[in-house]
Copies of this chain bind each other. A is one copy, B any other.
Amino acid sequence: MPNTLDDDELAAYFALRDAGSRLQRAVTKHLHGHGLTEVQFSILARLGGSEEGVAMTELARDLVITKSGLTYQAGQLEIRGLVSRQSSPGDERSILVHLTAQGAAVLSETLPSHVALVRELFIDRMPRQDLMIVRDALARVARDG
């Protein structure tokens, strides 16, 4: 394991970092047109798949953001009426975050064009076979264990 990267390795590393940056930038710009930051959208998207609500800590872990950052953004979304927070029946410390009807409406307004953008910038730029390899390869990156 030498402490240098050859040209191919360096190119792969930069490709990953640049692809992530460029895609994030494009997505951020698109979401801004819908009045959402990327973090806010990812919160709504994650809540969209859960009728029972999601606890703050789990939400922060899933979205790879800090707990304090989530507290701030959950507060912003709550002010706008897109999510609600209620303490968990089982654990008095835990707060379950839910999508409100209004939040669900914003999500379904935003999701189709978000998906179209992801398809245009990422999915449709490579053959399906390569996409599968990328999926499996990236799933192992920086994964614990």
A residues neighboring B (CB under 8 Å): 1, 3-5, 8-9, 11-13, 15-26, 64, 112-113, 115-116, 118-126, 128, 130-143
A4 partner, pick from B8, B115, B125, beta carbons under 8 A: B115
A64 partner, pick from B25, B118, B120, B126, beta carbons under 8 A: B25
Contact between A141 and B119, CB atoms less than 8 A apart:
no
Contact between B142 and A22, CB atoms less than 8 A apart:
yes
Report the copy number of this chain in the oligomer. 2
A20 partner, pick from B20, B124, B132, B140, beta carbons under 8 A: B20
Contact between B141 and A125, CB atoms less than 8 A apart:
yes
Given A22-B142, A125-B141, 18 more contacts at CB 8 Å?
A: A3-B116, A4-B115, A5-B119, A5-B123, A8-B132, A12-B122, A13-B123, A15-B135, A16-B20, A17-B20, A21-B64, A25-B64, A122-B141, A125-B137, A125-B140, A131-B137, A134-B134, A134-B138
